[in-house]
Chains A and B, each alone.
Chain A
Amino acid sequence: MSRPTNNGTNEPDMNDVQLTGPQVEQLSVALHAGVDDAAAAMARWLSVPSVMTLESLDQISVDEAVTLLGADLSTICLCAMQVSGGLNGQLVFAFDDDSGLALADLVLKQPTGSTTTWNDVAQSAALETSNIIGCSYLNALSDNLVEFDSSVRAIIPSPPVFRRDFAESLLQAVMMEQAVSSDTVLLTRVRFELNRQPLNWTLLMVPDPSSLKRLREFVPDE
């Protein structure tokens, strides 16, 4: 499955590892399980009905990926976790200021609008939420990947770090590991709903090149 690369040609990079259509579908099943578990964990943590939806699982050009959450002067906040074990890469929980500060109010059980700046307490609320969602997501994902390959170990996230910066600058850093050996990145994108209201939060998972290669090898191609 060859897609145009950002060198303006249709020539695939010889180092590119591309999942086939059937593999993407198989992987989507495992990711759905991760999303369902993470939504349940979020509902318990926030004490409100929560829904997470696997919006997309795509291999897209780096050029396209870095502008996914905004371009030019757009700023975002993100909590980034390095993942290791069964898969290596980055797991990122991203949101704009308003959505993130509203999350802090929810965690701190304050009326919406009480938190107006990213102070230590607000950052801590976002980081803790990322940790809970991330761990649940990865636990369920590794449980499901074991069905494809019994040697897959648990996927462990690092403690999250909080950053607020230009969206494009941050996503460059998130995509960098995959971009070393490929002009495309495999990206899973999850959207959120709380109390039946869609939220401007996004969960992105970006496996590194070695993990992408392993997925290519062990996810069934049928």
Chain B
Amino acid sequence: MNNMPSSNGSGSVPDTPCASPGRRQDAASLSVRIADITVVSGGECLRTLLGSCVGIALHDPYQKTGGLAHVMLPSSQGHTGPPGKFMDTAIPELLNQLSRMGSKVAAMTARIAGGASMLNASAGTSIGDQNVAAAETELSRLRIPIVGRHCGGTSGRRMLFCTQTGSVRIEVVGAGDAEI
């Protein structure tokens, strides 16, 4: 069962070849949809599209497990919804799912991306900024180090997480790819 992806919501859709940085793999990448959480243990790649949402990629390099949450909002504040929707519920749920696969919190590292201000560059803190700040707070509380980040700005991002290596590739329309 450990090789099966696990998702809490609408499911993951494998259809794009996983192109990890520097080489192309045969394995398909799994799409993680908005407010969804997916964990894998077979070295698969996970991908998601981000605007003001933030992608949280947790990786255990020893177990070669990893999980990706596509989080929409910083705090649940009494609202109900799937755990992947809010930062304060998504990260603990992602951690729980990885723990059930044998991953140890102490071994985990995090990479985060997204949090753009897509439509309004007005004064005040945008939802994107709030999402990034909430991710940092929650990961700090859980003592999970953030080893890579690609956040803010006004552009969307495609985030491709290779759980074999832990690397995350970021694609931005009209700009070169980046690896974090």
The chain A residues found within 8 Å of chain B, CB to CB, are 5-8, 13-15, 61-63, 66, 71-73, 75, 80, 82, 90, 161, 163-166, 168-174, 176, 179-181, 183
- Chain B's nearest CB lies how many Å from the CB of A25? 28
- Chain A's nearest CB lies how many Å from the CB of B68? 15
Q: Which residues of A contact B9 (CB under 8 A)?
A: 6-8, 63
Inter-chain contact A8/B16, CB cutoff 8 Å: no
Inter-chain contact B72/A176, CB cutoff 8 Å: yes
- Interface range on chain B (Cβ under 8 Å from partner): 35 or more
- Some 13 contacts from A to B, beta carbons below 8 A apart, are A5-B82, A6-B34, A7-B82, A13-B80, A72-B16, A82-B119, A168-B49, A169-B155, A170-B156, A171-B51, A179-B72, A179-B85, A183-B81
**Interface: B157 (CB within 8 A):** yes
CB contact under 8 A between A166 and B72, given known A7-B81, A71-B49: no
The chain B residues found within 8 Å of chain A, CB to CB, are 8-10, 15-16, 31, 33-36, 47, 49-53, 72-73, 79-83, 85, 116, 118-120, 127, 154-158, 171, 173-174
A-B contact count (CB 8 A): 112
- Chain A's nearest CB lies how many Å from the CB of B56? 16
- Chain B's nearest CB lies how many Å from the CB of A3? 13
Q: Which residues of A contact B53 (CB under 8 A)?
A: 172
- Nearest B residue to A165, CB-CB: B156
